[in-house]
Amino acid sequence: MSDIDLKNPQYYINRELSLLEFNRRVLAQAKDPAIPLLERLRFLTISCTNLDEFFEVRVAGLKEKEAARSVRRGPDNMLPNEVLSILATRSHAFVDEQYQVLNEELLPALAEQQINFIRRTEWNTSQAAWLKRYFHEELQPVLSPMGLDSAHPFPKVVNKSLCFIVSLTGKDAFGRNSGLAVLQAPRSVPRVIQLPPDETESGVHDFVFLSSVIHAHMDELFHGMTVQGSYQFRVTRNSDLLVDDEEMLDLKRAIEGELALRQYGDEVRIEIADNCPAEMVSFLQVQFELGEDDVYLVHGPVNLNRLQTVFELINRPDLSFPPFTPGIASQLSSKENIFNAIAKRDLLLHMPFDSFTPVIELLNQAAADAQVLAIKQTLYRTGAKSAIADALVKAALAGKEVTVVVELRARFDEEANVTLATRLQKAGVHVVYGVVGYKTHAKMMLVIRREGKRLRYYTHLGTGNYHPGTARVYTDYGLFSANKQVGEDVVNVFNQLTSLGKVPKLNKLLHAPFTLQKTILEKIEREASNAAAGKPARIIAKMNSLTDEEVIKALYRASMAGVAIDLIIRGVCRLRPGIAGVSENIQVRSIIGRFLEHTRVHYFENADSPEVFASSADWMERNLYQRVEVCFPIEAKVLRERVIKDLNGYLKDNQQAWLLMSDSCYVKASPSEGEPPFSIQQSLLEKKADVV
d(CA 147, CA 162): 17
| Residues 544/570, Cβ–Cβ less than 8 Å | yes
Please list, in sequence order, all residues whose beta carbon lies within 8 angstroms of the beta carbon of residue 374, skipping any fewer than 6 positions away.
400, 401, 402, 403, 446, 447, 448
d(CA 523, CA 554): 10
d(CA 463, CA 539): 19
Sign of CA dihedral 459, 465, 470, 475: negative
Decide: residue 173, CB within 10 A, 0-12 exposed, 13-18 middle, 19+ buried: exposed
| Residues 305/48, Cβ–Cβ less than 8 Å | yes
| Residues 631/506, Cβ–Cβ less than 8 Å | no
Cα 458 to the center of its chain, rounded Å? 30
Catalytic residues: 441
Phi, psi torsion values for 269, nearest 5 degrees: -160, 150
Tell me which residue of 489, 544, 480 sits closest to 511, measured CA to CA. Answer: 489
d(CA 306, CA 309): 6
Question: Residue 120: how many CA atoms within 13 Å on its side-chain side?
Answer: 14
In 547-585, DSSP assigns E strands to 564-569
Residues, the chain, total? 692
How would DSSP label each residue in 52-100? HHIIIIIIHHHHHHHHTT-----TT---HHHHHHHHHHHHHHHHHHHHH
Query: How far is the CA of 582 from the CAs of 359, 522, 567, 572, in angstroms?
Result: 44, 19, 15, 20
d(CA 503, CA 518): 16
Tell me which residue of 162, 210, 204 sits closest to 182, measured CA to CA. Answer: 162
Cα 301 to the center of its chain, rounded Å? 23
Please list, in sequence order, all residues whose beta carbon lies within 8 angstroms of the beta carbon of residue 278, skipping any fewer than 6 positions away.
none
